[in-house]
Each structure stands twice: as structure tokens, then as C-alpha cells.
Amino acid sequence: MEKKEKPFGNIVVYRNLKQATDQAVALFSDDDPAVIFAPTYAALKGKLDGAIASLQETAPDLASIDQLYSQGDKALEKFVLDFRDVLRLYNQIRVYDEFQWDDFAPAFNAQKMEDYRGKYYEAYRRIKKNPGDKDSILENIDFEIELLQTDKIDVTYILNLINTIDLSTPTGREEDTNKIKRLLHNADNDDLKSKAALLERFLDQIIPKLQPRADVSAELNNFLDYSQKLAMADFAKKHDIPVEFVAEQLTDFNFYGHLNGHEIMSQLGKSGLKFGERRKVKQQLDTFITEAVQAIH
């Protein structure tokens, strides 16, 4: 219970230990019971209301968050710190039986939380994955990214949702599809984010055409296989190399976990490319294969 990942908990006791408990609290709390006992729901709600108000003053909507990137580090830092406060308080209050989003309407609700979570994670990815000025205040922000992991929304979770889309009615089909697309849009892990665009295309292009008794899982596998073959053909045509060569490299990568750079350079030499051109195509092939594997597997 003392770890950062779980700063709260419930203790249920059926024996009469009040006197011993009071003594223990006095001993270990340094005469401040608030250190030991969880705050009331009303107290937490008041704090979360204030945090939400501060957040919305900084970023009243999603579009305003995108604009912060052009307003300097201080503006983006304010959003990150404000939403981090909201996340901290939400992770505490959500375990209370009294908690319901209606208590925070119309200022905030579950959908807004998901939308802001997506923007918060995007800020994390931009700053941590593409570091700029080492002296920037953004480099020193602790995003406490574990705060986002309240529910495990990963690739397996999304695939299960896709496989159970209600195809029996147009309304059910549309509602399920829109729910999955919202989750993809707000993806907060790299693996799911790398597959989001392809899965959204499946939802837009294939799901509307399926019959009520269609095997969604089989249709998804067919779509992914077709998409990969189409991408390989486009890459091969763009670089004037045989598509069979690209497919072979993808197969080798899936089996060995890496590409054979020497073999690639040798094979590209047979296409009449000069050394500099071969190196450029090899780098692009590396990127293509890596992204193709991330998007499909």
C-alpha cells in the first residue's frame, strides 16, 4: 500500500481494535491522521473539481491542446501538470462507491477524460521520443505515465471488441464501431498506436459491408494479409525492385527478428543500383519492414 502505484486502500476489521488503532495512528502518523486515513469522497470531489477547472482554463478543448505546441514550453508544461493532477485525483476517487461522472457534469465526463488522456500521452510521446533542447523544462517533467494504466486497453482488448461487433443491426454495428474508433484514437501505448490506422481502415471499409453472420475474425485476418501484400507491392514499385524480394525480407525478419544487411545490399546490386542508392533503399526497406511488422503483428 505504500508504493506510488497504489497510494490508497481499504482495511476491513471485525475485531474491536479501536484503542490499539488510535495508538498506532498516533505513533505512525506524527499526529496527523490524514497521513493514514483516506480523505472523504466530498473532499476528493472538491479537489478534483478544482483540478478540472484549472485544466479547462489551460486547455478548454482538444484543439486548444494542439495549439500549445506553438506557444512555448511553459504553456505545454501547464497542460501536462494540470492533467497529471486530474489523473492523480481520478485514480483515487474512482474506487469510491459514490463516484459517478454525473457529479462532474457538464464540465467533465468519461469521454472527455479519454480524449484528454490521448492528448496527454501524445505529449509524452512527442517530448520523450523526440527530445529537443536538453535544457527545456519539458525534459524534466515526470509524466507518471503509470497513471494512465487504470484499465488495460491494448491490442488484445481491441481485437476482442472487433471480433464481437454486433452485426445483427445497423445501430449495433455503428455503435460498436464508433466505440472502438474512439479507443483507437485515444490509444495510450505504442503497440496499439502503431496498429490504429490499419484497424480503423478495416472498421471503415470492411465492417459496413459484412453480412450479419460473417466471421469478423476471419475477415480481419484477410484484410490484414491483403493490406500487407498491397503495401509490399507499392514499396517494390516505388523503388523498382521485385516484390518477391521484399516479401522474402519480410519473411526473414519474422523468422530471425532482424534483416541481413549484407544480403540486402548484394541483392540490390543486381538491380543495377549504385552503392549510394543501395544504402538509401536499404534504409527505407528497414523502416518499411519494421513498420509493416508492427502494424500487422
How large is the average pLDDT for residues 192-208?
A: 92
Distances (CA, A) of 78 to 46, 58, 153, 243: 21, 7, 27, 49
Q: pLDDT digit string (tens) for 231-272?
A: 899 988 888 888 888 888 888 888 777 777 777 887 777 777
Q: How far apart are CA 28 and CA 36, in angstroms?
A: 8
**Cβ–Cβ under 8 Å, residues 211 and 167:** yes
Cell numbers given for 136: 527545456
pTM of the model: 0.49
- Give the pLDDT band of residue 2 (cuts 50, 70, 90): very low
Question: What does the CA dihedral 219, 221, 224, 229 come to, rounded to 10 degrees?
Answer: -100
How large is the average pLDDT for residues 112-135?
A: 76
pLDDT of residue 26: 59
Cis before 208 (ω within 30): no
Q: How far apart are CA 282 and CA 239, in angstroms?
A: 10
Mean of the per-residue pLDDT values of the chain: 81
pLDDT of residue 1: 43
CA contacts within 13 A on the Cβ side of 74: 0
How large is the average pLDDT for residues 206-216?
A: 93
pLDDT of residue 27: 60
How large is the average pLDDT for residues 185-204?
A: 85
**Cβ–Cβ under 8 Å, residues 90 and 110:** no
How large is the average pLDDT for residues 37-49?
A: 88
User: Is residue 146 over pLDDT 60?
Assistant: yes
Q: pLDDT digit string (tens) for 75-113?
A: 888 999 999 999 999 988 887 888 999 999 999 998 899
pLDDT of residue 20: 66
pLDDT of residue 125: 79
81-98 burial, b at 16+ Cβ within 10 Å, e below that, comes to ebbbbbbbbbbbbeebee
Give the rounded percent of residues in the chain with a pLDDT score beyond 90: 28
How large is the average pLDDT for residues 113-134?
A: 77
- Across 55-59, 89-93, 136-140, least confident range: 136-140
pLDDT of residue 52: 96
Cell numbers given for 164: 464481437
Give the rounded percent of residues in the chain with a pLDDT score beyond 70: 79
pLDDT of residue 262: 77
94: Cβ contacts below 8 Å, ≥ 6 apart: 150
